């Protein structure tokens, strides 16, 4: 039945294309371009796309990767995230957390051990409140026109609001408890970062999960009526540590960046990599690289100092 429906829609659109072509050949207007756009767009939307989506939802196909049971946050934003998002939505708890993770050992796997990890890195992730940050944001040249448009949107929503200023600036941060039952993940805490103008840069909800013996950092960023989740896998790197959403060549693993909504989850054409290392007894440096469709568009440098 579905195939017959698609065939009928195809025949209708071809018929109108022939009518339009005949008019062009006779140098008489039978149908205008704008009418053709409406006919093709409406026919394909109603006769092809909507039935296909309905069929897909009814079939509910499952991924072939058996290791893909990834936990996603059930917390979504509205039009405005920004300051006070957790309190406005009754998501904040009195649970006291001082770091982004309880224990770095929870991230260990056959590819990653904390034995050779620089102690200051471990200290930063377990006692994040004891550190101060400053950042320098660099947008790649080709992406800057899009970054200006994006900056206006992110300022309004109060989420992932990165600076257009190429200079270093201070990031103020705090960690608060999040209602894990409403979120759906375990021991969730929010790392809220603001700039010197007291504008919210990030409201990021942190958790960890393990899958097939591999530990992942699971970071959810509430967006309007959805959330963007980065699942990052740690690797050792010359005493420092790399966290990346890039999938392994084998295709195995949970890592990736996903858009999650109440209707379903889709992987995004984004990837990110953090590299962090100690520079002395009380100072860390970190770099954050982001790609879209394989093209780098963002580079952020961090200076992290123990208070």
Q: What is the pLDDT along the chain (307 residues), one digit of tens a residue?
A: 445 555 676 777 777 777 777 777 777 777 777 776 777 666 766 666 676 666 656 655 544 444 457 899 999 999 999 888 999 999 999 888 999 999 999 999 888 898 889 999 999 999 999 999 999 999 999 999 999 889 888 998 999 998 888 899 999 999 999 999 999 999 999 999 998 888 899 999 999 999 888 999 999 999 999 999 999 999 998 879 999 999 888 767 899 999 999 888 999 999 999 999 999 889 999 999 999 999 999 999 999 999 8
For residues 208 and 189, give the distance between their C-alpha atoms in angstroms, rounded to a whole number. 10
- Say what the pLDDT of residue 36 is: 66
Long-range contacts of 49-56 (CB under 8 A, 24+ apart): 51/2, 51/5, 55/2
Residue 169's Cβ-count burial label (10 Å; 0-12, 13-18, 19+) is middle
pLDDT at 57: 62
In this predicted structure, what is the pLDDT of residue 26? Answer: 73
pLDDT at res. 66: 44
Residue 76's Cβ-count burial label (10 Å; 0-12, 13-18, 19+) is middle
- Residues 76 and 265: their CA atoms lie apart, in Å, by 13
- Predicted pLDDT at 273: 97
Torsion region of 196: left, alpha or beta (phi above 0 gives left; psi -120 to 50 gives alpha): alpha
Q: Torsions phi, psi of 284, nearest 5?
A: -125, 155
**Strands 270-278 and 169-178: what pairing?**
unpaired
- CA separation for the pair 123, 215 (Å, rounded): 18
**Rounded distance between C-alpha atoms, residue 298 and residue 162, angstroms:** 10
DSSP conformational letter for 55 = H
């Amino acid at each position: 039945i579905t195939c017959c429906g698609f065939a009928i829609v195809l025949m209708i659109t071809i018929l109108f294309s022939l009518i339009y072509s005949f008019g062009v050949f006779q140098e008489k207007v039978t149908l205008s371009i704008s009418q053709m756009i409406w006919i093709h767009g409406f026919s394909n939307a109603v006769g092809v796309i909507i039935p296909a989506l309905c069929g897909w939802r009814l079939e509910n196909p499952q991924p072939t990767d058996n290791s893909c049971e990834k936990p996603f946050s059930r917390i979504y934003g509205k039009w405005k995230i920004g300051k006070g998002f957790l309190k406005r939505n009754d998501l904040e708890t009195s649970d006291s957390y001082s770091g982004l993770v309880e224990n770095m050992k929870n991230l260990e796997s056959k590819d990653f051990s904390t034995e050779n990890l620089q102690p200051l890195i471990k200290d930063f992730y377990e006692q994040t409140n004891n550190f101060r940050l400053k950042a320098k944001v660099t947008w790649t040249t080709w992406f800057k026109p899009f970054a200006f448009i994006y900056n206006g949107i992110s300022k309004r929503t109060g989420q992932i609001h990165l600076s257009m200023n190429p200079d270093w600036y201070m990031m103020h941060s705090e960690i608060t408890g999040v209602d894990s039952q409403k979120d759906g993940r375990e021991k969730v805490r929010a790392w809220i970062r603001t700039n010197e103008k007291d504008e919210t840069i990030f409201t990021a909800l942190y958790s960890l999960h393990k899958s097939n013996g591999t530990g992942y950092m699971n970071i959810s960023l509430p967006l309007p009526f959805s959330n963007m989740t980065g699942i990052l896998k740690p690797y050792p790197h010359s005493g420092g540590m790399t966290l990346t959403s890039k999938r392994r060549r084998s295709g195995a693993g949970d890592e990736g960046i996903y858009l999650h909504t109440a209707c379903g989850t889709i992987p995004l054409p984004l990837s990110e990599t953090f590299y962090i290392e100690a520079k002395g007894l009380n100072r860390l440096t970190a770099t954050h690289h982001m790609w879209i469709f394989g093209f780098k568009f963002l580079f952020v440098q961090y200076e992290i100092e123990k208070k």
